[in-house]
Amino acid sequence: MKLHLGCGKIYIDGFTHVDLQDLEHVDYQVPVNDLDFAENDSVELIYSAHVLEHFGRNEYKDVLKEWHRALKPGGMLRISVPSFDAIVKYYTQKDDNLDLLLDLLIGGQKVGEYDYHKMIFNKKLLVKTLKEIGFNNIQEYDWQKTEHSSIDDFSQAYLPHMDKKHGMMMSLNLEAIKELC
């Protein structure tokens, strides 16, 4: 089984879709931090794009532990979050117009309680946390080389918006493997 957690309106063929929204393609309308439908060590791949930052600093590790529980040994977590390092670099080197960066920093704040960011991540923090939880082989991934590369989602967030050729990547995209028992 491959899970697309916090899928929203995005459908990826071959994935089981999990989201709180009642949408036609959503297979499980449950919180992404409670995957009771998935047995321990049963999931091949978990994909989540710009979801983890919606959990607070005292919550996100438990979310990752739940995802780790569901993954089978050798299973992959593919995660994308707004990159704090990229945000700082863009602000200091490209454009100090903070309005351009607010959605990445604090969320859109337009569609209810879930459109808020409660946590920020850089590579150092997220890699450290993933290792603590029991992931290894942690590396950045190129969204263009995934089976869902044709799906435009936040793992492809660039500034200026949608400028994938000349813009700056604003997402931290990591893959991590659950350690073999």
pLDDT at 59: 98
Architecture, CATH, for domain 2-178? 3-Layer(aba) Sandwich (3.40)
Among the ranges given (77-81, 115-119, 135-139, 170-174), the one the predictor scored with the smallest mean pLDDT: 115-119
Q: Report, as an integer, the average pLDDT of 3-27.
A: 97
pLDDT at 110: 82
Q: Which long-range contacts (CB under 8 A, 24 or more apart) does 56-63 make?
A: 56/118, 56/119, 57/118, 57/119, 59/33, 59/118, 60/119, 60/129, 61/129, 61/132, 61/133, 62/33, 63/32, 63/33
Summarised one tens digit per residue, pLDDT across range 105-139 is 999 888 777 789 999 999 999 999 999 999 999 99
Whose tokens are 């931090």? That residue is 33
Q: Report, as an integer, the average pLDDT of 90-114.
A: 88
Beta-ladder partners of 19:
none
pTM of the model: 0.95
